[in-house]
Structure 1
Amino acid sequence: MLGFNEPEFLKQMASAVALRPQIEELVDRLVGEGFDNLLLVGAGGTYAQMWPYEHLARRDSTLAVRAAIAAELIASGDASLGERTVVVFTSVSGTTDDSIRAIEFCRSKGAYTIGFTGYPDSPIAQKVDVALVSEPKTWPFDTQLLLFMGRLLSRRGEWDGYEEFAAELTDLPRILVEVAGQAEPVAAAFAEAHRDTDYHFLIGGGNLWGFTYLYSMCILEEMQWLRTTRVHSAEFFHGSLELLQEDTSVIIFQGEDETRPLTDRAESFARRVSKDVTVFDTRDYPLEGISPRFRGLLAPLVLDVVMSRVSKHLERVRDHSLDLRRYYRVMDY
């Protein structure tokens, strides 16, 4: 597979799964001590990656849980933020400036802070109350967040099956390598067909809306300098559909949760207008070893692996490095 270091990937994913005992011990302690609300704080991609877990909690729990943008949280504050607040941060490098400042802000309000990162000596790992450290460069953080939220909802009596689900995650590294291999020819074909496409229209919903936002902004825009529009499938018929034309590249991310019919509806309309509609559907991947009842929870993680293959092939056909930046961490702002 193009640019895919399988041993490193397996090591990283295994390190995320291996955090289960630490995550469970932490969650059990927090539940035992009691807290009133949970903030999931990030910046850019790590903010978008919190949305599936806000969505999960909103659907299944009475606990107050919300995702927040680090810089906005500092600027606007949050009336619920205080000594009975738990705040979760994620950062691959552990050096994201907005998140570092948000940790300091939350701690100044008395909140308990948790950080997931790959570097134990990084500023974020050093500043939070507790750091849960995986292998360096481990991405995405969905495994850790699924274990955290799953255990939390289970302890609150709001989700059955956590033990079975967590046990099945043990084989997740192998499963995701199989996903990557199956996605490789699909990714190569998409990239070849769109080497000269300079605008993409992305649609997703449910627990894939965060990934839709992330892939549009953090990959196609930031890493490939391509213009995009991103819209939630439930909002597709309220404005953005007017941008569709016969030659518009439409990318649809389809998952397996209760919002699937909303994305089906958007896809049906998009195909009536555009002749260039591509659907990346998690149902296309067997995920052997994962029970049907849990497949939908893994949709963001599965599509992250699938679209990482697309990204590498876009990098190849467009001769545009995924590491190239004009402004991000290049200029002061």
Structure 2
Amino acid sequence: MNVSKVISTINEQTQNGITEVYLVACGGSLVDMYPSKYFLDSEAQKIVPGMYTANEFVHSLPKRLNKDSVVIVCSHGGNTPESVEAAKVAKERGAHTIGLTHNKEANLLKYSDHQFVYEWGEDSDVKNNPMAIIMELSVEILKVTEGYAHYDAFQGGIEKINGIITEGKKLVAARAKAFADKYRTEGLFYILSSGASYGHAYGFAICSLMEMQWLNAASIHSGEYFHGPFEVTDKETPFILMMNEGRTRALDERALTFLQKYAEKVEVVDAKELGIGTIADEVVEFFNPILFYSIMCVYREALADVRNHPLETRRYMGKVAY
């Protein structure tokens, strides 16, 4: 499915052009949408973006939803009941639905006007993974509705990011193992980041640590750290700080300065050090979370290995009624 063609088709079918973009999913798929919400909040002047966990979208449907709205729904397996229902409700309201899944037989696709069955796994190019595809859809929507001055720079970033990730994984392999060895017995982690990457701080906490490792974890926005959360900082509590390149780096640097003074268990993952600076300054901030997702997978795999707790292990998900 061609992103440009899909958005051009949708825009031609609207009465007033695309006026709203709703990003709807659950769990890790919702995390994949956060960078696009951040992008549209930052760059759009007329389009109204919204991001919803799927069940809230269903039960608290936005009144703005209309025939000029685009609703992007993502579900990895494609059969998450809340996400399927969200797409169904959106379609019934006349909105244009775009469904993303890894499963070509997914129920989600029944309610998707436009369908993306994305690549997944170690051998896939990240530009064909959901986070990047949803970003491309959002950028294309902005381009056709309002224009986007940095469109070419963004496309250049899409072509570069996979290579940056490949080299970044090599760079962190040894330190990820050292991290896992050092923190193997810890039961609580705080994850900090800012900008487009705050969504992945949340995602690493709820998916990688809580779901996949049964560890207590919480995300903290680097800008909010000094407005309450820093009071729990001590020399015994582990913090992971994902430092962005781009406009919000100053927020991460401020948090790092404080952590270096008052904490001892601090793991810093710096996008700048990992080579993301080869992407144009005007768009680099939107690529931080795409990089961080792949890099933090190295960390979680190392932790799972040393803790002898496979990432696929579950006690409730898919096992009991909920």
TM-score, with structure 1 as normaliser = 0.88
Which string of whole-angstrom CA distances, capped at 9 and with x for unpartnered residues, describes residues 303-325 of structure 1?
11110000110011100010001
| Unpaired stretches in structure 1, ≥5 consecutive residues | 1-18
Task: Provide the identity percentage.
Answer: 25
The answer to whether the 8 A contact 2:35-2:197 is kept is: yes
In structure 1, how many angstroms separate the alpha carbons of the residues matched to 2:70 and 2:182? 46
- The one-letter code sitting in structure 2 at the alignment partner of 1:112 is H
Q: In the TM superposition, what is the alpha-carbon distance from 1:270 to its structure 2 partner?
A: 2.1
Q: In the TM superposition, what is the alpha-carbon distance from 1:167 to its structure 2 partner?
A: 4.5
Residues 1:143 and 1:199: Cα distance change in structure 2 (over 3 Å)? same
In structure 1, how many angstroms separate the alpha carbons of the residues matched to 2:279 and 2:304? 32
Give secondary structure in 1 for the equivalent of 2:272.
helix
Alignment of 1:259 onto 2:248: yes
Q: In the TM superposition, what is the alpha-carbon distance from 1:154 to its structure 2 partner?
A: 2.2
The answer to whether the 8 A contact 1:36-1:84 is kept is: yes
Q: In the TM superposition, what is the alpha-carbon distance from 1:287 to its structure 2 partner?
A: 4.5
Match of 1:215 in 2: 204
Which string of whole-angstrom CA distances, capped at 9 and with x for unpartnered residues, describes residues 107-134 of structure 1?
1222111011222221112321111122
In structure 2, how many angstroms separate the alpha carbons of the residues matched to 1:207 and 1:158? 21
Q: In the TM superposition, what is the alpha-carbon distance from 1:135 to its structure 2 partner?
A: 2.7
Q: Which residue of the other structure, out of 103, 113, 119, is the alignment partner of 2:87? A: 103
Match of 1:189 in 2: 178
- The one-letter code sitting in structure 2 at the alignment partner of 1:241 is F
Give secondary structure in 1 for the equivalent of 2:213.
coil
Which string of whole-angstrom CA distances, capped at 9 and with x for unpartnered residues, describes residues 208-251 of structure 1?
11000000011101100111122111211222222222111011
Alignment of 1:306 onto 2:295: yes
Give secondary structure in 2 for the equivalent of 1:86.
strand
The 5-angstrom pairing of residues 226-305 of structure 1 reads 226-287=215-276, 290-305=279-294
Alignment of 1:36 onto 2:36: no
Match of 2:132 in 1: 143
Match of 2:32 in 1: 49
- The one-letter code sitting in structure 1 at the alignment partner of 2:272 is R
The answer to whether the 8 A contact 2:205-2:217 is kept is: yes
Match of 1:10 in 2: none
In structure 1, how many angstroms separate the alpha carbons of the residues matched to 2:260 and 2:162? 35
Alignment of 1:75 onto 2:59: yes
The answer to whether the 8 A contact 2:18-2:145 is kept is: no
Match of 1:6 in 2: none
- The one-letter code sitting in structure 2 at the alignment partner of 1:28 is S
Q: Which residue of the other structure, out of 65, 86, 90, is the alignment partner of 2:74? A: 90
Residues 1:95 and 1:171: Cα distance change in structure 2 (over 3 Å)? same
Give secondary structure in 1 for the equivalent of 2:67.
coil
Match of 1:64 in 2: 48
Match of 1:131 in 2: 115
- The one-letter code sitting in structure 2 at the alignment partner of 1:82 is N
TM-score, with structure 2 as normaliser = 0.91
Which string of whole-angstrom CA distances, capped at 9 and with x for unpartnered residues, describes residues 189-222 of structure 1?
1111111111111111110110000000111011
- The one-letter code sitting in structure 2 at the alignment partner of 1:51 is Y
Residues 1:135 and 1:242: Cα distance change in structure 2 (over 3 Å)? same
Residues 1:208 and 1:164: Cα distance change in structure 2 (over 3 Å)? closer
The answer to whether the 8 A contact 1:179-1:287 is kept is: no
| Unpaired stretches in structure 2, ≥5 consecutive residues | none
In structure 2, how many angstroms separate the alpha carbons of the residues matched to 1:266 and 1:169? 29
Which string of whole-angstrom CA distances, capped at 9 and with x for unpartnered residues, describes residues 77-128 of structure 1?
2111122211001122112221011111111222111011222221112321
Q: In the TM superposition, what is the alpha-carbon distance from 1:44 to its structure 2 partner?
A: 1.1
In structure 2, how many angstroms separate the alpha carbons of the residues matched to 1:157 and 1:111? 20
Give secondary structure in 2 for the equivalent of 1:234.
coil
Give secondary structure in 2 for the equivalent of 1:252.
strand
Number of aligned residue pairs: give it.
Answer: 313
The answer to whether the 8 A contact 2:21-2:48 is kept is: yes
Residues 1:234 and 1:158: Cα distance change in structure 2 (over 3 Å)? farther
Q: In the TM superposition, what is the alpha-carbon distance from 1:188 to its structure 2 partner?
A: 1.1
The answer to whether the 8 A contact 1:120-1:131 is kept is: no
Which deviates the most, 100-109 or 208-217? 100-109
The 5-angstrom pairing of residues 145-164 of structure 1 reads 145-164=134-153
- The one-letter code sitting in structure 1 at the alignment partner of 2:266 is V
